[in-house]
Structure 1
Amino acid sequence: MIIRNGLVFGEDGLYTSKDIFIEGGRIVSDKEGLSDRTSIDASGLKVIPGLIDIHSHGAAGYDFSDGSKKGLVEILKYQKSQGITSYCPTSMSLPEQMLMKAFKTAADLEKDEKNARIVGINMEGPFLDVVKKGAHRAEYIKKPDIEMFKKCNEISGNQIKIVTLAPDIKGGEKFIEELQNQVVIALGHTEADYETCIHGLKKGANHITHLYNAMLPLGHREPGLVGAAFDCENCTVELIGDGVHVHPSVVRMTFQLFGSKRVILVSDSMRATGMENGKYDLGGQTVVVENGKATLTDGTIAGSAVNLFTCVKRVISMGVPEGMALLAATRNPAKRIGIYHDTGSLTAGKRADIVLTDQNLNVLEVL
């Protein structure tokens, strides 16, 4: 297949008018030897890599933590339709057996190219600080448990790519030391101070779960986790771009502070994404969705009700350069979870995870 005359988004964050050649589901360097010379005229269109959401609990009425194969398929189907081609289903804090059931569902799922691909699992709970639990249920939160993580990872088919840890909880340092080479360890859901957080990052953690949310605010004398993340150059930070979790001014500031290589846009979406306003469930708690905002009955923000592509467009509307926003949803997450050799940009040898959009980034076709 040949995609002709499109504006192709490059690894440098710029668009170039050129053709893309595809053979066997992979991008190739030229048209020589193409068995399929079907052509798509992309004149006037943008050609971008499929987005990669590494933090999303669900969509289309389903949640990964339900442990439902049918539900997970529907989530993946929805994501692909919205231009998200690679996906990390994300768990909540739940009893061990419920988590094991969800993780096994991901391991047993048959691949279907019509849907988004599972490229890893994000284990957000239960190793959190109950004081900063956010939308997680307090009774399911527990101290870092290395053996529990290993069991969950094994039943998932070793697909857990990210695990969130509160570094101020007893056992956190040992957890980081033992598992840092097996999984991306993210700090989050914590009231830890700067010193505790910087210690955890120097020990081997290298990622931050939804920056600003469920942590101490950045203070000029007490910078907390935000300041620690900034001071560690190998640390990436998630940013929920729905316009609800983080103020537009802080979104713009974050891209300036952390630059084009360290910010990863995520949706943190829950089952109400793609659905109407109403009441939904998240980790056994009632969530009310109204005018695009999802909250628990006590007013706590409970994930988002929008997909990652919507997040990209919203942060662009806030003043973030388009190239930076797209890199934060393609290249950066791919690099963080170790799949950039396979996807995340439109270069020869990689999967043909391609989205065609109009000039305003409205999705027209997902290949």
Structure 2
Amino acid sequence: MRRDSVGINEHARRIEQVLQHQLNNGVTHLLLATLASPLNLLKNYLKGAKQVMESGKQGKLPDSCLGGCLVEGTFMNPSCCGCHNPAYVYLPSWSLAQKLVDTGAVQILNVAPEIGDEADALDVVLKAKEAGVVVAVGHAKPHAVMLRKAVDAGCSYVIHLGNGPTGSSWKSFNDGGMMEEALRNDYLTVSIIADFIHVHPCLLRDWIARKEISRVIAISDQAFATGLGKRKSFEVFGRLGKVSDDGSHLLAVDSESGESSKMETNRTSEVAGLFGSCISMKQIFENVLNLMFHAMDGVYIRHHEGQCLSDAIRSAISLCSTNPARLLKLDHHCGDVKVGLDATLLLVNVTERKVRPGDTWFGCMWETYLDVTLEKVIYHGKVVR
């Protein structure tokens, strides 16, 4: 079936498959991110998501796990599109954004404030916030002063810091770039892809220290939300990709040569472009737990002391659950374990083991590793796994 011919009901059916897979793996509330895509398809997808959300309000599982969508690719900076197709990127305008927001499925809207007319871009930020949407900046490169204007208009979130790509400038003009302002601006919550591939763990630990635990969200950026299956290569809206040899991540592929868009060499820092991760949120939680538990050296910060196990667990819960709930204004009923909140819990077993020869490269930093095993998923007081 052609993507542009997929109807609302079919989108809803596929979304339910994603939600069931994620629920089975311990994800009880999530947003689905959209790529830069043809507008008719995007609107149908959002309407399908809204249909699922309405079903979820009646208590149906897994539909009630869907919180809505993050419109990521539509208003990004095309020069920072990463693996999105720039042919489907549009200049920010409220007339277009409103059509998406009016579907009722958009919870987060990504806007690059530096493209197109400044007044139009800031108008989208302002009106989207007034409509109850969280406004984000990602796949963008505004200078710091421009980003502050977006924050003043209502932007509060940065999508996958360091990836996308994220614009950066070490020079003093306009007080630096987006990367620098995202780290120092306390009004911005940032998300990080904590698969240890998109961003080096030493940098992640530095960024968490700079932003503090309460302003960081750990995400998976999982491209195929029901798993890879036997997939080895794929095409999404005219962009080609393939699964890495070890199955740990996805690579962009050049449409002419059929090879990775930038081939690794032994002598440069140029590596193949990434197309997303293959990691689950259970693994993200495990990664963050290890990141905070172990003492380690940073890049910009010389050394980070490790947290005790209970504090490291608390930090991982904050990045994976509490902070996202606060961003989406859901912390009055989920995101933590407190009297009065929903009885939606994951029971996990944490065991510490010695790093074995042949383990992934994190063994160079850590002598032990914390493994997390998902034992039970409790949703609104009912065991569902």
Whether 2:249 is the aligned partner of 1:293: answer yes
Once the 2 structures are TM-superposed, how far is the Cα of residue 220 of structure 1 from its aligned partner? 6.4
Match of 1:186 among 127, 136, 139: 136
Tell me what 2:256 maps to.
none
1:139 corresponding residue in structure 2: 87
* Partner residue in 2 for 1:40: none
Q: Distance in 2 between matches of 1:82 and 1:258?
A: 29
Following superposition, the deviation at residue 223 of structure 1 comes to 3.6
C-alpha distance in structure 2 between counterparts of 1:178 and 1:250, whole Å: 35
- 1:209 lines up with 2:159 in the alignment: yes
Distance 1:114 1:178, change over 3 A: closer
Aligned to 2:28, the other structure's residue is in SS state: strand
Name the CA distance, whole Å, in 1 between partners of 2:168 and 2:278.
24
For the pair 1:337 / 2:328, whether they are aligned, the reply is yes
Give the gaps of 5 or more residues in structure 1. 1-62
Residue 194 of structure 1: CA displacement? Answer: 1.7
Q: CA deviation at 1:287?
A: 1.8
Amino acid at match of 1:210: H
Deviation at residue 114 of structure 1 after TM alignment: 4.5
Q: Does 1:351 align with 2:362?
A: no
Give the corresponding residue for 2:302: none
- 8 A contact 2:136–2:155 mirrored in 1: yes
Asked if structure 2 preserves the Cα contact closer than 8 Å seen for 1:210 and 1:239, the reply is yes
Q: Look up the equivalent residue of 1:316 and give its one-letter code.
A: L
Identity %: 21
**TM-score, structure 2 length as denominator?**
0.73
Larger RCO, structure (CA 8 Å, separation 6 or more) = 1
Q: d(CA) in 1 for partners of 2:47 and 2:78?
A: 27
Q: Distance in 1 between matches of 2:337 and 2:71?
A: 29
Unaligned runs of 5+ in 2: 1-5, 254-260, 262-271, 294-311, 352-371, 379-385
Q: CA deviation at 1:333?
A: 0.3
Q: Specify the code of the residue in structure 2 equivalent to 1:280.
A: F
Deviation at 1:150, TM superposition (A): 1.7
Q: Which residue of 1 aligns with 2:209?
A: 256
Q: CA deviation at 1:272?
A: 6.6
Question: CA–CA distance in 1 between the matches of 2:157 and 2:291?
Answer: 24
Structure 2 counterpart SS, 1:364: strand
User: What's the CA shift for 1:332?
Assistant: 0.2
Deviations 1:123-170 (A, max 9, x none): 112101111001110100110121222222222xx2311111111012
Q: 1:119 is paired with a residue of what secondary structure?
A: strand
Shift of 1:273: 5.9
Q: Secondary structure at the match of 1:93?
A: coil
- 2-side partners of 1:117 and 1:272: how far apart? 14
> How far did 1:216 drift?
1.9
Counterpart residue number, 1:6: none
Q: Secondary structure, in 3 states, of the residue corresponding to 2:191?
A: strand
Q: Does residue 1:76 correspond to 2:28, yes or no?
A: no
Matched, 1:363 2:363: no
Contact 2:188–2:215, Cα closer than 8 Å, also in 1:
yes
What is the aligned-residue RMSD (CA, Å)?
2.2
Q: Secondary structure at the match of 1:84?
A: coil
- Structure whose residues are more often strand by fraction: 1
Amino acid at match of 2:344: D
How far apart are the structure 1 equivalents of 2:210 and 2:139?
21
Quote the Cα distance in structure 1 between the aligned partners of 2:72 and 2:235.
17
| Aligned residue number for residue 122 of structure 2 | 173
Displacement of 1:260:
1.2
Distance in structure 2 (CA, Å) of the matches to 1:86 and 1:272: 13
Q: CA deviation at 1:355?
A: 0.8
- The question of whether the paired residues in 2 share the 8 Å contact of 1:87 and 1:116 is answered with no
SS at structure 2 position matched to 1:169:
coil
Native 8 Å contact 2:151 2:187 kept in 1: no
What's the CA shift string for 1:55-102, capped at 9, x where partnerless?
A: xxxxxxxx9x99622321111011111111001111111111010110
Residues 80 and 115, structure 1, Cα contact 8 Å, conserved in 2: no
TM-score normalized by the length of structure 1? 0.77
Higher helix share: 2
**Number of corresponding residues:** 302
Q: CA deviation at 1:352?
A: 1.6
Indicate yes or no: 2:315 matched with 1:324: yes
Write the mapping of 1:300-315 to structure 2, written as runs, cut at 5 A: 300-315=273-288
Q: In the alignment, what sits opposite 1:235?
A: 188
Q: 162, 177, 198: which one pairs with 1:224?
A: 177
- 1:310 is paired with a residue whose SS is helix
Q: Is the 8 A contact 1:90 1:124 kept in 2?
A: yes
The answer (yes or no) to whether the contact 2:17–2:226 under 8 Å persists in 1 is no
Quote the residue 1:161 is aligned against: 107
Please identify runs of 4+ aligned residues in structure 1 that moved more than 4 A: none
Q: In structure 2, the residue corresponding to 1:303 is in which secondary structure?
A: strand
